[in-house]
């Protein structure tokens, strides 16, 4: 890696030779652009300390634009994170949030950059996560949905982003889950159908999307599968054939779709004896 020297006119030229970074690594660059000058850094005294007691431009540096180098600096000096949560560079604030004292995280909830708030959402105590349920950025709300308690997830059932609502549907209490059965997004309703219990599940047999009805067919009690045996979508009927009892299989014998008829015949051969008696 090429060496970087301090600006002309300084008493001493500080040579920034990186020892451990790969030769093809991104060249050191100040987060505001241009060269890195150690003599202007608030941590300049660390430059010549050994190993992880100091810093290493091009590898572990608070002034670098490269997030990985900033992270190494804070890994070496986690106790310095508290002092940098108001740093003007968002990457410094975001990485400092990984190491800052948990009692200082509250001051970053309203940080102007979503990268910072994302880190806050990953570390904030669950009891304080409700402060981020209305965050303007979907990635932040997704992290909140992953960590909120099941009872507090109800506040995100109507989130404007379907990805957030998908996570809610996967974790929401089963007692409240039926309230999401009519979600406007197909992907969300699919998650609901994967978990919903009877009798609420039965109400989803009339869902407008075949992918949802197919999931219902996978979980509906066998005695109720006849509700979907003549579904307009052959994929749903095929799913019914995988679980249907002997009587329903006979009713589906003349299905207009070859794939479904093959599935019915295969199940019939496996389920029914030559005398027509179902295996126990």
| Domain spans in the chain, listed from the N-terminal domain onward | 1-76
> How confident is the model over 49-99, as pLDDT tens digits?
877 788 888 899 999 999 999 999 999 999 999 999 999 999 999 999 999
Give how far the C-alpha of residue 280 lies from the chain's centroid of Cα atoms, to the nearest Å: 44
pLDDT, greater one: 272 or 42: 42
Contact call for residues 197 and 220 (beta carbons, < 8 A):
no
| SS3 letters across 165-192 | HHHHHHHCCCCCHHHHCCCCCHHHHHHH
Query: Percent of the chain, pLDDT > 90?
Result: 72
pLDDT of residue 51: 72
pLDDT confidence bin for 19, thresholds 50/70/90 = low
pLDDT confidence bin for 24, thresholds 50/70/90 = low
Average pLDDT along the chain: 88
Exposure of 221 by Cβ count < 10 A (0-12 exposed, 13-18 middle, 19+ buried)? exposed
Q: Tokens representing 175?
A: 């007692």
Alpha helices in 196-241 (DSSP H): 210-219, 234-241
Q: Tokens representing 203?
A: 């109400």
Nearest partner of 267 among 247, 275, 232, judged by Cα: 247
> How confident is the model over 224-252, as pLDDT tens digits?
999 999 999 999 999 999 999 999 999 99
- CB contact set of 232 (below 8 Å; sequence gap of 6+): 210
Q: Tokens representing 79?
A: 């106790």
pLDDT confidence bin for 278, thresholds 50/70/90 = very low
pLDDT of residue 58: 87
Give how far the C-alpha of residue 185 lies from the chain's centroid of Cα atoms, to the nearest Å: 18
Cβ count near 134 (within 10 Å): 12
> How far is it, in rounded angstroms, from Cα 108 to Cα 63?
21
pLDDT, greater one: 134 or 272: 134
Give how far the C-alpha of residue 235 lies from the chain's centroid of Cα atoms, to the nearest Å: 30
pLDDT of residue 84: 95
Q: Tokens representing 90?
A: 């968002």
pLDDT, greater one: 18 or 156: 156
Give how far the C-alpha of residue 11 lies from the chain's centroid of Cα atoms, to the nearest Å: 51
pLDDT of residue 54: 87
> How far is it, in rounded angstroms, from Cα 120 to Cα 147?
12
Q: Tokens representing 41?
A: 């850094």
SS3 56: strand
pLDDT of residue 203: 95
SS3 272: strand
């Amino acid at each position: 890696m090429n060496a970087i020297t301090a600006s002309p006119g300084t008493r001493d030229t500080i040579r920034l030779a990186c020892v451990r970074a790969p030769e093809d690594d991104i060249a050191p660059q100040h987060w505001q652009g241009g060269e890195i000058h150690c003599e202007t850094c608030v941590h300049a005294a660390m430059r010549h300390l050994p190993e992880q007691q100091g810093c290493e431009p091009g590898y572990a540096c608070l002034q670098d634009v490269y997030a990985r180098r900033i992270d190494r600096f804070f890994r070496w000096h986690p106790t310095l994170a508290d002092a940098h949560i108001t740093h003007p560079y968002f990457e410094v604030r975001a990485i400092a949030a990984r190491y800052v004292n948990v009692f200082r995280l509250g001051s970053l909830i309203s940080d102007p950059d979503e990268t910072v708030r994302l880190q806050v959402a990953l570390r904030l105590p669950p009891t304080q996560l409700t402060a981020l349920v209305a965050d303007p950025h979907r990635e932040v709300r997704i992290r909140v949905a992953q960590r909120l308690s099941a009872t507090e997830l109800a506040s995100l059932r109507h989130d404007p982003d379907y990805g957030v609502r998908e996570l809610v549907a996967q974790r929401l209490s089963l007692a409240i889950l039926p309230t999401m059965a009519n979600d406007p997004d197909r992907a969300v309703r699919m998650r609901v159908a994967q978990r919903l219990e009877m009798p609420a599940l039965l109400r989803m047999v009339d869902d407008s999307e075949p992918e949802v009805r197919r999931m219902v067919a996978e979980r509906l009690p066998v005695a109720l599968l006849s509700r979907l045996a003549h579904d307009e979508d052959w994929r749903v009927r095929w799913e019914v054939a995988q679980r249907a009892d002997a009587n329903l299989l006979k009713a589906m014998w003349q299905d207009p779709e070859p794939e479904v008829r093959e599935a019915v015949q295969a199940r019939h051969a496996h389920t029914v004896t030559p005398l027509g008696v179902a295996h126990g």
